[in-house]
Amino acid sequence: MSDYFLLSLSNRENLELCVKYNLAGFTNSINGLWTFFDIEVGDYISFLYGARVRNLYRVVKKVAYKNAEKLPPWSPITFRSKRTYYFPFRLFLKLEREFNEPMVRQEFSYVAENLLLRGGYRKTHFQADTITLYNVSEMGTPFTGESEHLELNAETFEPKIVFKRENQVIPEKSYFKELILQSLVRKKIKETVLGDALEFFGVDNSPSEFEVLGEKALPEGYVDIFIKPRHPSPKNKYLLAEVKTGKAQKKDVEQLRKYVKEFGDEAVGGILIAKDFSKSAFEDDKILPVRYHFEGLDTSLEYSYEELLKMLKLEVAI
């Protein structure tokens, strides 16, 4: 099943370039790399700018370019911090439906709630649920023409992840961070430990009845992974997951417990995913500890995202 994302754009010029060339670009930052990894070929995206949602596209190709600061259509951006960002990570898109709709429409309520609780657009992308994609698939009019693309005769590379900071050479090689682990876990959890989690919390439903979504904003913060029924029911059953790259501490357990309480009776429990755990992680029957590791990992080497996804192992820690 394809995922659906709304890409948050910073200005109108960026929006018009994306629409003109059926192209999305992400900066040489951890957020840009995270977005590039998180969205796959075959997923669907729309552009989000000025409280309006523009068009529905399917991702047909992902490319990372070397020396992207010299490539059109985007110019490098320098911030007050003196840091300059450019756009090496790009998605080539096929226009499926044309529309320009306000964010306040009921069909966008899942993402709109995230925006409201976050207080704005300070995030590269927002993952919507299946219902949102169903609704968007009926908006506007189908596009039947050919999608124009910007042809670039430039050298490409495959982004790699390294586990020693001294091996980092951005954007080709980036140090392993929690955002990358979140994306990997989101794509792996359903086929591994979700069934165990449902059994642990006394939920009879099959894992196939649930969808695993990215960050979900809450009044007191946001949870890394939000697991919900693919189709609504009179009483929903939600699972909330937090991801930590290192050892989970008591404060991490308390944070996840607080998030679970915010959802009331509809939250059946929380999943805490970490490399290791303090004893307090095993003292709450509403929190299931799950240990992660990369099978065969050599921290002196570099790995592609797909290699890490295959190596990632998730195991219930009780």
Angstrom distance (rounded) from CA 183 to CA 225: 9
pLDDT of residue 282: 67
- β-bridge partners, 290: 273, 316
> 0.85 cut: is pTM over it?
yes
Residue 115 and residue 52 in contact, taking contact as beta carbons nearer than 8 Å: no
pLDDT in tens, 263-287: 888 899 999 999 999 876 666 678 9
pLDDT tier at 120, thresholds 50, 70, 90: low
Compute the distance between CA of residue 235 and CA of residue 231 in angstroms, rounded to an integer. 11
What's the confidence (pLDDT) of residue 78?
A: 86
Provide the pLDDT confidence category of residue 149 given band limits of 50, 70 and 90: confident
The CA distance from 296 to 222, in Å, is 32
Domain boundaries of the chain, sorted by first residue: 4-157, 178-316
pLDDT at 301 over 70: yes
Q: Are 172 and 160 in contact (CB under 8 A)?
A: yes
Is residue 157 within 8 A of residue 39, CB to CB? The reply is no
- The residue-averaged pLDDT of 9-33 equals 93
300, pLDDT greater than 80: yes
Mean of all residue pLDDT scores within the chain: 92
What CATH class is the domain 4-157? Answer: alpha beta
| CA–CA dist 33, 76 (Å, integer) | 16
> What's the confidence (pLDDT) of residue 71?
95
- Looking only at Cα atoms, what is the longest distance across the chain? 59
User: Which two structure tokens, joined as six digits, stand for 258?
Assistant: 């607080």
**178-316 CATH fold:** Trna Endonuclease; Chain: A, domain 1 (3.40.1350)
**Residues 6+ positions from 151 with CB-CB distance below 8 Å:** none
Residue 118's pLDDT is what?
64
- pLDDT tier at 146, thresholds 50, 70, 90: confident
Q: How many helices (H) and strands (E) does the chain have?
A: 8, 23
Secondary structure of residue 272 in the 3-state scheme: strand
